[in-house]
Amino acid sequence: MGLFSKIKEGLKKTRDSVVGQIDSMLKSFTKIDDDLFEELEELLVMGDVGINTAQRICEELKARVKRDGVKDPNQIMGMLRNVVREMLEGDTSLHLATKPSIILVIGVNGVGKTTTIGKISARLTREGKKVVIAAADTFRAAAIDQLAVWADRSGADLVKQGEGSDPAAVVFDAISAAKSRNADVIICDTAGRLHNKKNLMDELSKIGRIIDRELPEAEKEILLVLDAATGQNAVNQAREFKNSCGITGIVLTKLDGTARGGVVIAIKEDLNVPVKFIGVGEQIDDLQPFDPEDFANALFEPEQV
């Protein structure tokens, strides 16, 4: 299965549910009027695009309809795809030019953080990079054990300490190991206890200070992992983390298992944070770099009959 086919298959539930309803609605109209845009906005909100983003999409569509003199409701779907693609455009690449570079992976428990680290590590090692993984979620022994499995599968080195160790000390050890082993990338796992937000943010700040002190020139990505199935709650999580510790990109997991793929648009438009990877399956290569054009085309491309 090619990359586009993987993304299209991963968005099937969203396409069948949300886009299918929009397509049926548009076919029920014989002219483009306020009622059409009202129904479209409602369907976009139901598809987890979010109220503000749905309103912006409809306002842009109205402007284009007026500008281009569009009369046929059947043309709206193609215009909608173009508007969404343009909203999602931006720099979605990882910035890892320094040696070593750092990827700090954050997010609440249960969103797929450990699996994401393993899949990014596998991707980087396939590209010829030497990767060191820091098992800095020391509050869950299971997280350390899972990372050990992923490190073995992906060919990365794992740096760990015992359960309950100081996470910043694990990151310090990983940086030292990366320097001595001439590694290209350090990927740091972190705890995900949002219920104790102050301690979590203090911990992330401490890790950040260690990185800034030991590798002041290194490029640093702070990737927030979100579960697409949580819809607007994912947007709220992203807002909290962005305000508390800054994030450079989003990894949206489990898109294949939910009809809430519209949350991608809400995250980018509401928070102006790029989505850098999307998870469209369980396999090691099912974490795909985010491509706005492929995403929009896969979301709005009709099924072949």
Annotated binding site: 107-114, 189-193, 253-256
Supply the pLDDT for residue 219: 96
Q: Per residue in 284-303, pLDDT tens?
A: 778 889 999 999 998 887 55
pLDDT for 233 equals 86
Average pLDDT value over all residues in the chain: 89
CA dist 123 and 210 (Å) reads 26
Question: Binding site for GTP, residues?
Answer: 107-114, 189-193, 253-256
- Mean pLDDT throughout 244-268? 87
pLDDT of residue 256: 85
Handedness of CA 65, 68, 69, 74 (dihedral sign): negative
pLDDT band at 1 (very low <50, low <70, confident <90, very high): low
Quickly state the pLDDT bin for 195 (edges 50, 70, 90): very low
CA–CA distance, 43 with 21 (Å, rounded to integer): 7
If one compares 245 and 268, the residue with the highest pLDDT of the two is 268
Beta bridge partners of 158: 133
Write down the pLDDT at residue 197: 67
pLDDT given for residue 304 in this prediction? 45
**What's the pLDDT band for 216 if we cut at 50, 70, 90?**
very high
| pLDDT tens track for 108-158 | 888 889 999 999 999 999 999 999 999 999 888 788 999 999 999 999 999
Task: Answer yes or no: is pLDDT of 64 > 90.
Answer: yes
